[in-house]
Amino acid sequence: MAAVSGLVRRPLREVTVRDAINQGMDEELERDEKVFLLGEEVAQYDGAYKVSRGLWKKYGDKRIIDTPISEMGFAGIAVGAAMAGLRPICEFMTFNFSMQAIDQVINSAAKTYYMSGGFQPVPIVFRGPNGASAGVAAQHSQCFAAWYGHCPGLKVVSPWNSEDAKGLIKSAIRDNNPVVVLENELMYGVPFEFPPEAQSKDFLIPIGKAKIERQGTHITVVSHSRPVGHCLEAAAVLSKEGVECEVINMRTIRPMDMETIEASVMKTNHLVTVEGGWPQFGVGAEICARIMEGISKKLVLEYSQAVVNIMYLNTYRIKRLKARSGKYFKSKSRKQFPIISPHLCAKVVVPSWHLLSLS
């Protein structure tokens, strides 16, 4: 058969973040009868943001449960159900309302596995919109990534696009630990290309693994949730000016994928973090601290050892020069130090570190 030339690649199917989450929950509800969804208006109203659209009609009252407006009450019911062996998905209409149930999330869900000596898992998902939205004022505009990312016993994920949303919600439901899924209200209606592998019922994104959305060599830019899109837009602008940014989509806040971030910073020697939360004690502050404690410290130690090696090398060479010429090399201080001449030294390169946390 003759080769066909001029083939046009078909555009990938586009799926909104809302539909990707819905698809992920639908597949897990179908796969495991222990999975159920509860929250305010999730059933007959199809969810405040229509994320659970069609699920009540398909699975009925026993598995898609409307609750009263009492986050502390239905979050406690969900935690108890998880302890009894079920796999609840607890939806908060907005994560700002999770403050009403934070005792259940932290003291009951997050700590039980540890306090039971590993005998009592709590496989529960807390999900809902997180971060700033449009015109909802200060009380409904908080990002809880740093809040929940601070707490041992929780896993915290923060999807950006449709692929993230489906893969992470499915992994969260299957996980035996409590998982907080921080969605973004402004992203629900945004369509993204949906690769064929993401359309599979077996598609999962591992919790704790970041993704490099754009390769670059000059600056590492780390972000999560909606700001990832802003970073990619900025990287496209900077690319026209000759600056190539490597954009990392964290996907998971806890456990944080520092291996991917460190490898990128080792390559670019520059780091910028971008997030939608407050700057003090934020996700970016944690990343910067770990970089300084990790690879920065390692490089300083390597540099110090290199300098020591050079000092020994030159001390030996200077002694030979002194023996031949009888000349002494002295510093301005009282102690004598060898003079390190450029032609005697190996080249030691120390990266310059520019760490900036943007909120």
**CA-closest candidate to residue 223, choices 255, 252, 243:** 252
Q: Is 343 a catalytic residue?
A: no
Asked if residue 235 lies in contact with residue 214, where contact means CB atoms within 8 angstroms, the answer is yes
CA distance linking residue 5 with residue 15, whole number of Å: 30
Using DSSP bridges, classify how beta strands 35-39 and 87-91 pair: parallel, antiparallel or unpaired.
Answer: parallel
Give residues with Cβ within 8 angstroms of 247, minimum separation 6.
212, 213, 214, 216, 221, 223, 228, 231, 232, 235
Which position among 27, 28, 40, 71 bears the catalytic label? Answer: 71
Asked if residue 127 lies in contact with residue 92, where contact means CB atoms within 8 angstroms, the answer is yes
Alpha helices in 215-334 (DSSP H): 227-240, 258-268, 283-293, 295-325
Q: Is 71 a catalytic residue?
A: yes
Asked if residue 79 lies in contact with residue 125, where contact means CB atoms within 8 angstroms, the answer is no
Task: Print burial letters for 156-179: b (CB count within 10 Å at least 16), e (below 16).
Answer: bbbbbbbbbbbbbbbbbbbbebbb
Alpha helices in 91-219 (DSSP H): 102-103, 111-115, 145-149, 162-174
Which position among 140, 150, 218, 230 bears the catalytic label? Answer: 140
Q: Annotated active-site positions, please?
A: 71, 140
